[in-house]
């Protein structure tokens, strides 16, 4: 029985010693690696750069009122031409200008509306 306890104590001592030796090796390798110069540079700060814009979205809106739909469309067409002429005189190309469909509201048929349009 005493031989078993001696063998057990010897085995336990060897395992503890081996564990301490392995831990020492890992610690030494880690310290050596931490003292090596880093190949990464971290910088904090503000960077500014001017960039030329190549796209402008400039919504231009106008409003017309009339009781006659044909007169209304003529007025819208006339105002659209005025805006187009202004933009082309300012240096814009006609193919750079786009239009959206007009929105038409009949105020007399809208609920809760007391507004009446007079020509």
CA dihedral sign, ordered 102, 70, 96, 61: negative
Residue at token pair 């750069």: 49
* Closest to 97 in 3D by CA, of 41, 56, 65, 51: 56
Report the pLDDT averaged over residues 93-114: 78
Category of 4 on φ-ψ map: left (φ > 0), alpha (ψ -120 to 50) or beta: alpha
**For residue 46, pLDDT beyond 90:** no
8 A C-beta contact, residue 97 and residue 84:
yes
- Output the pTM of the full model: 0.46
Q: Mean pLDDT, the chain, as a whole number?
A: 84
| pLDDT digits 0-9 by tens, 21-43 | 999 999 999 888 877 776 666 77
| pLDDT digits 0-9 by tens, 58-82 | 888 888 888 888 998 999 999 999 9
Nearest 5 degrees, angle CA 37-CA 43-CA 49?
A: 140
**For residue 119, pLDDT beyond 70:** no
Report the pLDDT averaged over residues 3-17: 90
Helix ranges, 35-110 (H)? 69-89
**For residue 118, pLDDT beyond 90:** no
Domain residue extents for the chain: 1-37, 52-119
């Amino acid at each position: 029985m005493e031989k078993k306890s001696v063998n057990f104590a010897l085995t336990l001592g060897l395992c503890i010693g081996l564990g301490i030796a392995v831990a020492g090796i890992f610690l030494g390798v880690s310290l050596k690696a931490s003292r090596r110069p880093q190949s990464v540079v971290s910088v904090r700060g503000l960077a500014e750069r001017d960039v030329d814009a190549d796209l402008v979205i400039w919504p231009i809106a106008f409003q017309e009122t009339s009781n006659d739909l044909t007169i209304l469309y003529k007025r819208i067409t006339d105002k659209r031409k005025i805006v187009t002429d202004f933009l082309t005189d300012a240096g814009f190309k006609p193919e750079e200008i786009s239009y959206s469909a007009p929105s038409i509201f009949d105020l007399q048929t809208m609920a809760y509306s007391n507004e009446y349009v007079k020509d």
